[in-house]
Structure 1
């Protein structure tokens, strides 16, 4: 992973390698500014003596995890046209794990408890009619996702000289699906147009043959109303079929081909006209995120999910949230993507609730009113060196403080309970996130290469 570098005044410089960062620290030319993610600050140089290169933040928004990548834009010569195209040299990979489900569950539980207390125990006149919502309001679970992504975009922009942004806006390009014969758009004249339609059909029909429910076989694009009978290329007239079913149906009307299976016929006709829910061109959350990205003042490139998968398949890159972010938008070549991913898990900054509740909504027990115990606070990153006993060893992770002075330490793989505070050493104060590094096994790359070799796709 690349190391973020700041000058002596705190301005962002070009990230460096881990080896160079160790040399700068060993020679006294830099000091540690932050541990996770690792940032150093120079003590002998300002930004005036540095050459900055164009860096780009790429985002692949997801409901549970958002992939992010910091890449350096490179110039790649296209052999077919002889023109210079944009490549991506990966510097850092991020996986931002949201907690929207926890927020939604907490709000649901709080609403149920309040309803119980106000409805069954005492009467209070309703006052929800005087509540108003601002324009563009989103539920807290969705607003959290947008705010968290924007917070990390601003963070990385402070740590690196970012000049542009790229984000996946919609999973499929609905314009290319609704009118495949449109002219004047470059992506519809190449191979990506068919790829966009195919990815949409795979998602809509569940990757099974519509006529025989066969799975795990190569599927072909099938016209419900054959072109020979006046059928169009619109996505509402397309489905998926295995090779035997496709050849057997040929140009027959679907009513004749499925005359003995009227239940399947009605299901296919109904599903063909029904749009895919996740493929709406105007997705509220994604458009809010796109508009928020534009407020940064940097150029924003918006792309579709079909183009992301096209790039990932073309370069034989494994599927992860972070690597999907690398493949977002127009990219002619990718290098350095085998770097580990920094997994950032949203954990919150504590709770105002000082009691636990029973199933009836009444207080049960009391939490400590002091957030810090022996100088530690829940969420701090600590290093615990236990000399002896069952928990002997070095444990690094987020700490959960207890009034007794015996803490729980949560690392990436396990939770160590009952570690005395005297064995703990503070590494970094809590900032609402948990950090861990994720490495990719070699077999993941091998599977990607085999999949690309089995289903070759034209470049």
Structure 2
């Protein structure tokens, strides 16, 4: 399907690609946007109402499923299937920035008093990594409202029971009796591992509390992620997981992290409140209903198919299904770091004098026609600029051309902080 705008840039019902080609060749329409491909009519064209347009969301911690349907009677035509890839490196970047700032403060402003007790958080505050997930989902819906005449929203409002995820048979007072009932952390670990190092088995030496999955690799302080080791094994293991260190039996003791479930639990109501800003009726559905309806329709387990089956409004059958899925990845508009650092923390290279180089900016969608050399041919993709005017071109996150001169490049669409891709179903 091709998205259509009228003369005033208001969304109209999507049309078939053949109809779009006919309008463009006859001069009745022009290309408004390359990705997602959208045309704008130059003249008024009679368009009939094709049905009731509804957007459906399946929020997730790393990937959010999106589907847009047109409801007519007991059937629905699917006009859009998509996945939103969230940014997952926000916390690590904030940790890096915090370490750099603390080091600079320690070197430059040792006289300044600590300020860790004079900051207050607003009511309903969310960590930046969770707030970003809400904002990215909201922005994707907003972008779709510009090109599709949406009339309703359906979202899965699910709450994960983290205790039941670990023990499906849990009930009653067992929710109040965790692993540490009657123990302190260190005493519990000593009892669990028989007062010996889990890696070399040595006893009667000072033992240290060690993370099976290191915190720098995404591990947490959950009791299931803690073990005992001697000082020598702890230092030798370093930043590796227990399995990488050669002890898969210890790695098996670490339970699956519950970060994703906690993220969805924390952001579900904030996303619901943000979606109210569109002024459209919002329907909520449970995860059990989504799974039941997906099985009834015989659809595989995918984020976009889950979104398609959200809520009571799911139709009995789907008349048409797209052949491609739109994958939108949140990339941001760059970073504030001026230069890269080497492994010792010292600056490597020097800062660019301007964000744009020869009229191009990292993230722009370009078309390059290279006349000769190793990468001769036509290339389309996102560009990564260099100050000397030699650019790299990326497709689907992979570099396909390197060292392409700016003279061979032409901007198709300016960077807007998103990466747009398509994959076949």
Q: TM-score range by the shorter chain?
A: 0.7 to 0.9
128, 147, 167: which one pairs with 1:159? 147
Structure 1 residues 425 and 15, CA, compared in 2 at 3 Å: closer, same or farther? same
Describe the SS at the equivalent of 2:71. Answer: strand
- Distance (whole Å) between structure 1 residues aligned to residue 85 and residue 264 of structure 2: 24
Q: Equivalent residue for 1:142?
A: 130
340, 356, 359: which one pairs with 1:375? 359
Q: Equivalent residue for 1:425?
A: 410
Contact 1:116 1:361 survives alignment (8 Å): no
Is 1:133 aligned to 2:133, yes or no? Answer: no
Q: Equivalent residue for 1:243?
A: none
Superposition TM-score, scaled by structure 1 size: 0.68
Contact 1:380 1:398 survives alignment (8 Å): yes
Deviations 1:405-440 (A, max 9, x none): 110111016302111111111110111111111112
Q: Equivalent residue for 1:414?
A: 398
Structure 1 residues 22 and 236, CA, compared in 2 at 3 Å: closer, same or farther? farther
Structure 1 residues 278 and 371, CA, compared in 2 at 3 Å: closer, same or farther? closer
Q: Equivalent residue for 1:397?
A: 381
Contact 1:69 1:90 survives alignment (8 Å): yes
Deviations 1:212-257 (A, max 9, x none): xxxxxxxxxxx89xxxxxxx9x8989xxxxxxxxxxxxxxxxxxxx
Q: Equivalent residue for 1:342?
A: 326
Deviations 1:157-216 (A, max 9, x none): 1211101001111056x8xxxxxxxxxxxxxxxxxxxxxxxxx97x5458xxxxxxxxxx
Q: Equivalent residue for 2:72?
A: 74
Uncovered stretches (5+) of structure 2, i.e. residues with no partner: 176-191, 193-257
Structure 1 residues 51 and 335, CA, compared in 2 at 3 Å: closer, same or farther? closer
Deviations 1:109-158 (A, max 9, x none): 01111222323665132123222221111111111111111111112112
Shift of 1:402: 0.6
Shift of 1:321: 1.5
Structure 1 residues 334 and 355, CA, compared in 2 at 3 Å: closer, same or farther? same
- Distance (whole Å) between structure 2 residues aligned to residue 284 and residue 403 of structure 1: 42
Contact 2:66 2:308 survives alignment (8 Å): yes
Contact 2:54 2:150 survives alignment (8 Å): yes
- Distance (whole Å) between structure 2 residues aligned to residue 281 and residue 370 of structure 1: 37
The total of aligned residue pairs comes to 340
306, 324, 336: which one pairs with 1:324? 306
What is the CA RMSD across the aligned residues, in angstroms? 2.9
- Distance (whole Å) between structure 2 residues aligned to residue 235 and residue 18 of structure 1: 60
Describe the SS at the equivalent of 1:373. Answer: coil
Map 1:433-448 to 2 at 5 A. Answer: 433-440=418-425
- Distance (whole Å) between structure 1 residues aligned to residue 419 and residue 131 of structure 2: 20
Structure 1 residues 320 and 292, CA, compared in 2 at 3 Å: closer, same or farther? same
- Distance (whole Å) between structure 1 residues aligned to residue 58 and residue 264 of structure 2: 16
Describe the SS at the equivalent of 1:67. Answer: strand
Structure 1 residues 162 and 10, CA, compared in 2 at 3 Å: closer, same or farther? same
289, 312, 329: which one pairs with 1:307? 289
**Structure 1 residues 161-170 or 328-337, which shifts more?**
328-337
Q: Equivalent residue for 1:246?
A: none
Map 1:162-181 to 2 at 5 A. Answer: 162-170=150-158
Describe the SS at the equivalent of 1:389. Answer: coil
Shift of 1:67: 1.2
Contact 2:6 2:41 survives alignment (8 Å): yes
Shift of 1:393: 2.0
Structure 1 residues 281 and 359, CA, compared in 2 at 3 Å: closer, same or farther? closer
Describe the SS at the equivalent of 1:431. Answer: coil
320, 333, 338: which one pairs with 1:354? 338
255, 262, 269: which one pairs with 1:287? 269
- Distance (whole Å) between structure 1 residues aligned to residue 307 and residue 321 of structure 2: 11
Q: Equivalent residue for 2:187?
A: none
Describe the SS at the equivalent of 1:14. Answer: strand
Structure 1 residues 162 and 150, CA, compared in 2 at 3 Å: closer, same or farther? same
Deviations 1:245-295 (A, max 9, x none): xxxxxxxxxxxxxxxxxx9xxxxxxxxxxxx99778992201100111122
Superposition TM-score, scaled by structure 2 size: 0.73
Structure 1 residues 349 and 281, CA, compared in 2 at 3 Å: closer, same or farther? closer
**Structure 1 residues 372-381 or 131-140, which shifts more?**
131-140
Structure 1 residues 146 and 278, CA, compared in 2 at 3 Å: closer, same or farther? closer
Structure 1 residues 282 and 106, CA, compared in 2 at 3 Å: closer, same or farther? closer
Uncovered stretches (5+) of structure 1, i.e. residues with no partner: 77-86, 175-199, 207-222, 225-231, 238-262, 264-275, 441-459
- Distance (whole Å) between structure 2 residues aligned to residue 117 and residue 278 of structure 1: 34
Shift of 1:12: 1.1
Describe the SS at the equivalent of 2:157. Answer: strand
Shift of 1:348: 0.8
Q: Equivalent residue for 1:55?
A: 53
Contact 1:56 1:72 survives alignment (8 Å): yes
81, 98, 101: which one pairs with 1:114? 101
